[in-house]
């Protein structure tokens, strides 16, 4: 894939993510008065208070945030982020004129709205883009107060949801918190994938024999790490191998067959890139 093809592909995915996010707002969240944090939450509050278009409000808030972050911290984002933020503001208002709410049930709206928004933002972030929003405000708070970015983001979003609770009622705030939680999980799912693999760490008196069996019978690479038992002071090799979920039982049987006294640690791995697994 050439550079231009790659760029077109990345912008295409960012565009798809923005479209999904804007639909999530207009099909589910905005019509049901669910202000799940972010500039969209502020836009939803102002829309119901004074009739301001949500997309216009998002743009009006994002532009000074981008300028402020650039001035204080330097360029911390690329053109894809600016593109995503502007396009989301525009499409949110365009879709508002041509789409209708899918449901009036606030619970369904919180669940599906959070899923749509999280999926869309996750797609944009996967291509090193973003849709702007309160993460920019969190960067500024972090710079001036040394508060962690994650804590700053949580504080800003929680403040917006609490404001929505004052305007729309406490029940709507609860739906907003639920939607925010679901969207964060959807972002993680899109970013990291669903294909959980397993990492096995093996400490044995027969490391070479175990490594040979794993490499020949499973076709998986094995890495030997140098370790020292702090209680015994004995130097040992720690074998590290990444396998699929289906292969974990096989590798446990292999290790038990060679060395019943081997120490085996198995942990979840969210994403693996490389030979034998997903492409880079």
233 beta partners: none
Residues 239 and 202: beta-carbon distance below 8 Å: yes
Q: What is the mean pLDDT of residues 208-216?
A: 91
Residues 131 and 118: beta-carbon distance below 8 Å: no
> Token digits for 231?
């209680």
Q: Please report which confidence band the pLDDT of residue 195 belongs to, taking 50, 70 and 90 as the band edges.
A: low
CATH for 197-269, among 3.40.50.300, 2.40.160.20, 3.30.70.120, 1.10.600.10? 3.30.70.120
Name the maximum alpha-carbon separation found in the chain: 73
Tens-place pLDDT, residues 123-178: 988 887 778 888 778 777 877 887 776 577 778 899 999 999 999 999 999 999 99
- Exposed/middle/buried for residue 74 (C-beta within 10 Å: 0-12, 13-18, 19+): exposed
> Does 108 have pLDDT greater than 60?
yes
> Token digits for 64?
């000074």
Q: Please report which confidence band the pLDDT of residue 112 belongs to, taking 50, 70 and 90 as the band edges.
A: very high
> Does 280 have pLDDT greater than 50?
no
Confidence at residue 42, expressed as pLDDT on a 0 to 100 scale:
96
Confidence at residue 278, expressed as pLDDT on a 0 to 100 scale:
56
> Does 102 have pLDDT greater than 70?
yes
Mean of pLDDT over the chain: 88
Confidence at residue 273, expressed as pLDDT on a 0 to 100 scale:
66
* Measured distance CA(91)–CA(26) in Å, rounded: 10
Tens-place pLDDT, residues 4-36: 999 999 999 999 999 999 999 999 999 999 999
Q: Which residue has the higher pLDDT, 221 or 173?
A: 173
Name the residue among 211, 165, 197, 129 with its Cα closest to residue 36. 165
> Token digits for 93?
């208002």
Alpha helices in the chain (DSSP H): 3-24, 38-50, 54-73, 79-98, 106-126, 134-145, 149-168, 170-192, 207-213, 248-258
Query: Percent of the chain, pLDDT > 70?
Result: 92
Q: Tell me the whole-structure pTM to 2 decimals.
A: 0.79
Q: Which residue has the higher pLDDT, 163 or 187?
A: 163
Query: Percent of the chain, pLDDT > 90?
Result: 52
* Measured distance CA(50)–CA(244) in Å, rounded: 54
The answer to whether the Cα torsion of 183, 188, 191, 193 is positive or negative is negative
User: Range(s) for CATH 3.30.70.120 in the chain?
Assistant: 197-269
């Amino acid at each position: 894939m050439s550079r231009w093809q790659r760029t077109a592909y990345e912008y295409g995915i960012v565009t798809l993510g923005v479209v999904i996010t804007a639909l999530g707002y207009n099909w589910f969240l905005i019509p049901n008065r669910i202000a799940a944090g972010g500039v969209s939450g502020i836009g939803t509050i102002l829309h119901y208070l004074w009739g301001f278009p949500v997309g216009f409000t998002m743009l009006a808030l994002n532009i000074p945030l981008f300028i402020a972050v650039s001035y204080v911290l330097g360029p911390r984002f690329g053109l894809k982020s600016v593109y995503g933020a502007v396009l989301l503001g525009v499409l949110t208002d365009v879709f508002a004129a041509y789409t209708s709410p899918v449901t009036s049930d606030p619970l369904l709206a919180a669940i599906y709205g959070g899923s749509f928004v999280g999926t869309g933002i996750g797609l944009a972030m996967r291509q090193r883009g973003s849709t702007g929003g309160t993460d920019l405000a969190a960067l500024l708070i972090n710079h001036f107060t040394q508060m962690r970015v994650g804590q700053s983001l949580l504080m800003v979003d929680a403040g917006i949801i609490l404001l929505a609770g004052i305007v729309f009622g406490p029940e709507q705030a609860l739906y907003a918190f639920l939607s925010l939680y679901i969207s964060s999980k959807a972002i993680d799912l899109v970013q990291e994938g669903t294909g959980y693999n397993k990492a096995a760490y093996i400490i044995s008196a027969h490391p070479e024999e175990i490594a040979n069996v794993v490499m020949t019978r499973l076709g998986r690479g094995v890495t030997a790490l140098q370790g020292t038992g702090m209680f015994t002071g004995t130097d040992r090799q720690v074998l590290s191998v990444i396998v699929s979920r289906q292969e974990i039982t096989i590798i446990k049987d292999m290790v038990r067959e060679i060395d019943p006294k081997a120490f085996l640690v198995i942990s979840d791995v969210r994403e693996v890139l490389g030979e034998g697994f997903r492409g880079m």
